[in-house]
Chain A
């Protein structure tokens, strides 16, 4: 279980998150929506511990991290057990798309990678550099890079926004396979269809707090 309790985060005078409670169980897909600039990405960064919250606790399975009370949080964060696909993707521009995936991929995942090359139709551009690839192609590479890490929790920030319906369908299939392998997912999306198709629970982040929506 990935759980954030009482998460608070401010940037200068601007308060972004106010006592946010959120839980993602293994094998569960939680959809998070909310207005642009409302703090969804900040929450995702806090949950993944890339951005330490000002206060609150994060529990990652049996490891607890406490913030704002002077606790020592130098415990090793078990990346890539929790990993992120960023909205801006951040493929490493000096590496080919293939090397972007292979650099962090465990060798045991090689057959899965080969399978994804076909399913995501990536063979014709996998050896190009990211700046020679379209946004949709880069999204597929970024998703592949995350999928082959076999994460326990995966946090997806608008990760299918540039894909056409057919390719979104393939991504959905892959996410469902990950779900069957008990991967917990937090999905930030503006696509209502995708949210309805995939979500087990729906949350909305508004004015710094999270509330369930039906």
Chain B
């Protein structure tokens, strides 16, 4: 297995770079835009209804179907050709935005209003209430599920291989087509995902246990 990785390191590194680039795009845009949408959903009812309706519709479509629909029919209808990497990034970012927005708005909604009221009657200024009370408490609700969702998004980047994005799974398939050592090639791929995902999942579990203990008093 190590021999294959060394011999085809360029291919694997190239695939790894594309996977990481795709992943970073999805994570950054998803967290930024999804977080903003989640906050807006708690402020304006119209945004909440619209956002949750869209999330409901998107959650009903398998990600692969959504990806293929954006890649083939939509581009054919619009008469445009978009590079597969961007199509994959757009599809998965949309999925991530709505997943993150749901977690953030739910987390904000879960925060008992009395914590803020107590801060108000203690005379804390609005800004201090936001940064010292609301923000840290909401983070405790949302960080564990957010981490788990981002691990899920990393897994979903594999679908990009199906529209010819040269990410790590597609590169592994190519290497396997040359050497035909599926056990070694896919084991190496599995180990890569374990190395990246297990610490993130472990961190999510740790934070969930630590924070849920910390905020158990409602």
A residues with CB within 8 A of B: 48, 50, 79-84, 86, 88, 90-94, 103-104, 129-131, 145-146, 149
Contacts and interface: CB of A to CB of B under 8 A. Distances in A.
Given A48-B121, A80-B123, A103-B132, A88 B114 contact: yes
A54 to B, nearest CB: 19
A90 B114 CA distance: 7
A90 B112 contact: yes
Instruction: Identify whether the interface residues of B are mostly helix, strand, loop, or mixed.
Output: helix
Contacts of A129: 214
Given A92-B137, A93-B217, A50 B115 contact: no
Interface in B72-116: 112, 114-115
A88 B115 CA distance: 11
B56 to A, nearest CB: 29
Nearest to B215: A93
Contacts of B123: 79-81, 83, 104, 149
A91 to B, nearest CB: 7
Contacts of A146: 122
Nearest to A105: B122
B213 interface: yes
Interface residues of B, number: 22
B217 A50 contact: no
Contact of A131 (B114, B140, B216): B216
Nearest to B116: A90
B54 interface: no
A131 to B, nearest CB: 5
29 contacts: A48-B121, A50-B117, A50-B120, A50-B121, A80-B121, A80-B122, A80-B123, A83-B121, A83-B122, A84-B118, A86-B114, A86-B118, A90-B112, A90-B114, A90-B115, A91-B217, A92-B115, A92-B119, A92-B133, A93-B137, A93-B214, A93-B215, A103-B124, A104-B123, A104-B124, A131-B217, A145-B122, A149-B122, A149-B123
A88 B124 CA distance: 19
Nearest to A138: B217
B214 A79 contact: no
A129 B114 CA distance: 18
A202 B214 CA distance: 40
A88 B218 CA distance: 9
Interface in B50-69: none
Contacts of B217: 91, 93, 130-131
Nearest to A129: B214
Interface string B129-144: 0001100110010000
Contacts of A103: 122, 124, 128, 132
Contacts of B140: 94
A123 B172 CA distance: 61
B129 to A, nearest CB: 10
A93 B115 CA distance: 9
Contacts of B213: 131
A103 B124 CA distance: 8
